[in-house]
């Protein structure tokens, strides 16, 4: 005997689409959205000391947005590049604000990334099972300076041109691969249209793709390995909060607040644009940015054949130790007071980098003529 569908079943069939007729991609998309709407995260993910992760995403969004706007008016040709940046900043409405937001957002992003990693180190968030989260964060930190290095040459002004020359010299001191990397970036014996084009492609295409991939991996590892719990290890009664709207609203609020603050700063203090680049003016000495002062000072200390110590060995060793930290400190203890070896080593590295930065600041900004 065949069962007859009830009135309620017929009504639901009229309202809901036939799942057999849906495309697999549509089903996956709907399933993903449904899971996102129902997802919950620990409520302490909204606390103030986890603020830097949301701030980084907001700043990256601002950088992508302002970068697209500037790219619409940019011409990657020596000479013309400077004119296009000058026109964008001083002739187009709000061009100075857009370029200023782009400039200040990078500086703030580096600060937020450093503080984010420092917090993770202090609370032991790199420990099992969150090792991939930490490693993807270290890779993220390595990619960010590449954006500034490739972007400095794009305005084709004196500071950008000669800063790039200094960086090519430092890269060239790396054994085995140094000369190859310089030729890869520069494309010839001189820094000209080939170098500008290659750095432009890296800056607006290849590096953003790598950054988005790293962010996706970092988020995936966060979702699968979880947020770090209390340092005491007692997470039995850890309250939950819905991902939407709690976390999403927080991210939007941080984005809007960052945009407003940076726009006001850019309006008051526009990003600098120096004189057009003059490749014959070898007497021009560019002042290093704050984030690279320590590296510049290391290179100044180790001169000649020993330059590789300051340009590659010491920085590479620090980065290697950062990446290997989850495997060097495998004990489950996360309280800082019980990990004095790691805390003292981190404090020593930070103190050394700070001292080098102060020395570099005095040399380049306080007594530049000495």
Looking at the domain assignment, is residue 363 inside a domain? Answer: no
Looking at the domain assignment, is residue 185 inside a domain? Answer: yes
Q: Which domain holds residue 262?
A: 40-227+241-282
**pLDDT tens digits along 202-254:** 999 999 999 999 999 998 998 888 888 777 766 666 777 776 777 778 889 99
**pLDDT tens digits along 133-190:** 999 999 998 998 899 889 999 999 999 999 999 999 989 888 889 899 999 999 888 8
Nearest to residue 321, comparing CAs of 169, 183, 121?
Answer: 121
Q: DSSP assignment of 80-133, as one string?
A: HHHHHHHHHHHTSTTHHHHHHHHHHHHHHHHHHHHHHHHHHHHTTTTSTT-HHH
Nearest to residue 42, comparing CAs of 238, 185, 254, 205?
Answer: 238
| Position 33 confidence tier, pLDDT thresholds 50, 70, 90 | low
Looking at the domain assignment, is residue 235 inside a domain? Answer: no
Q: By the 8 A CB rule, do 241 and 247 touch?
A: yes
Looking at the domain assignment, is residue 264 inside a domain? Answer: yes
| pTM recorded for the entire structure | 0.86
Q: DSSP assignment of 237-293, as one string?
A: T--EEEIIIIIHHHHHHHHHHHHHHHHHHHHHSPPP--SBP-TT-TT--PPPPGGGH
Looking at the domain assignment, is residue 338 inside a domain? Answer: no
Looking at the domain assignment, is residue 97 inside a domain? Answer: yes
Min mean pLDDT across 20-24, 95-99, 289-293 is at: 20-24
Q: By the 8 A CB rule, do 124 and 325 touch?
A: no
Instruction: Specify the number of domains making up the chain.
Output: 1
Looking at the domain assignment, is residue 156 inside a domain? Answer: yes
Looking at the domain assignment, is residue 206 inside a domain? Answer: yes
Min mean pLDDT across 25-29, 58-62, 194-198 is at: 25-29
Task: Quote the pLDDT of residue 35.
Answer: 63
Task: Quote the pLDDT of residue 44.
Answer: 67
What distance in Å separates the CA atoms of residue 242 and residue 328, rounded to the nearest whole number? 35
What distance in Å separates the CA atoms of residue 301 and residue 228, rounded to the nearest whole number? 40
Mean per-residue pLDDT, 49-70? 92
Task: Quote the pLDDT of residue 20.
Answer: 46
| Position 12 confidence tier, pLDDT thresholds 50, 70, 90 | very low
Task: Quote the pLDDT of residue 15.
Answer: 40
Task: Quote the pLDDT of residue 233.
Answer: 66
Task: Quote the pLDDT of residue 50.
Answer: 75
Q: Is 5 left (phi over 0), alpha (psi -120 to 50) or beta?
A: beta
Query: Mean pLDDT across the chain, nearest whole number?
Result: 87
Mean per-residue pLDDT, 74-88? 95
- Residue 106 sits in a domain whose CATH number is 1.20.810.10
| Position 262 confidence tier, pLDDT thresholds 50, 70, 90 | very high
Task: Quote the pLDDT of residue 4.
Answer: 54
């Amino acid at each position: 005997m065949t069962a007859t569908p009830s009135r309620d079943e017929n009504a639901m069939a009229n309202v809901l689409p036939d799942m057999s007729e849906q495309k697999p991609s549509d089903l996956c998309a709907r399933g993903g959205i449904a899971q996102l709407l129902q997802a919950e995260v620990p409520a302490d993910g909204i606390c103030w000391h986890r603020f830097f992760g949301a701030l980084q995403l907001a700043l990256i969004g601002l950088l992508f947005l302002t970068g697209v706007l500037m790219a619409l008016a940019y011409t990657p040709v020596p000479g013309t590049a400077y004119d296009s940046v000058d026109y964008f900043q001083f002739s187009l409405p709000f061009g100075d604000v857009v370029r200023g937001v782009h400039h200040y957002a990078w500086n703030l992003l580096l600060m937020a990334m450093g503080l984010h990693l420092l917090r993770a180190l202090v609370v032991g968030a790199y420990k099992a099972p969150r090792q991939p989260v930490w490693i993807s964060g270290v890779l993220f930190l390595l990619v960010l300076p590449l954006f500034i290095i490739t972007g400095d040459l794009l305005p084709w002004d004196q500071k950008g041109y000669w800063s790039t020359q200094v960086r090519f010299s430092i890269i060239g001191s790396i054994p085995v691969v140094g000369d190859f990397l310089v030729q890869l970036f520069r494309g010839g014996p001189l820094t000209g249209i080939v170098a500008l084009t290659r750095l432009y492609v890296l800056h607006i295409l290849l590096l953003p793709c790598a950054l988005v991939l790293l962010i996706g991996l970092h988020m995936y590892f966060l979702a699968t390995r979880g947020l770090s719990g209390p340092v005491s290890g007692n997470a039995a009664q850890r309250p939950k909060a819905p991902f939407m709207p709690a976390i999403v609203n927080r991210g939007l609020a941080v984005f809007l607040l960052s945009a407003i603050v940076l726009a006001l700063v850019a309006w008051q203090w526009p990003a600098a644009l120096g004189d057009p680049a003059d490749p014959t003016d070898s007497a021009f000495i560019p002042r290093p940015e704050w984030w690279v002062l320590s590296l510049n000072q290391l290179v100044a200390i180790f001169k000649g054949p020993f330059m590789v110590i300051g340009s590659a060995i010491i920085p590479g060793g620090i980065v290697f130790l950062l990446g290997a930290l989850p495997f060097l400190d495998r004990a489950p203890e996360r309280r800082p007071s019980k990990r004095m070896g790691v805390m003292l080593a981190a404090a020593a590295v930070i103190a050394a980098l700070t001292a080098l930065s102060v020395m570099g600041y005095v040399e380049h900004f306080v007594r530049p003529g000495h």
